[in-house]
Structure 1
Amino acid sequence: MGGVDEDWGRVDDHLARALLPADEVLEQVLAENRAAGLPSIDVSPLQGAFLTLLARITGARRVLEIGTLGGYSTIHLARGLAAGGRVVTCEFEPRHAEVARRNVERAGLAGVVDVRVGAALQTLPQLEQEGLGPFDLVFIDADKGGYPQYLEWALRLTRPGSVVVGDNVVRRGRVADPAVTDPAVTGVRTFLDAVGAHPRLRATALQTVGAKGWDGFAIAVVD
Structure 2
Amino acid sequence: MRPDRLSFPELSGPRAEVAQALAAVSALPDATERLGVSPGLAAAVERNRHLAEAVATPAERFYTGVLFDALDLASLDPAALRRARRRIVVLSGLYGAVRLGDALAPYRLAMGVNLDGVGPLAGYWRAHLGAALDPLVGRGLVVDCRSSDYLAAWRPDVAARWVQVKVPGATHMAKHTRGLVARLLCQEPADPRTPAELAELLAPHVDVTLQTPDAGARAGTPSVLLVRPPAG
* TM-score, length-scaled by structure 2: 0.30
Structure of larger gyration radius: 2
User: When you count strand as a share of all residues, which structure comes out higher?
Assistant: 1
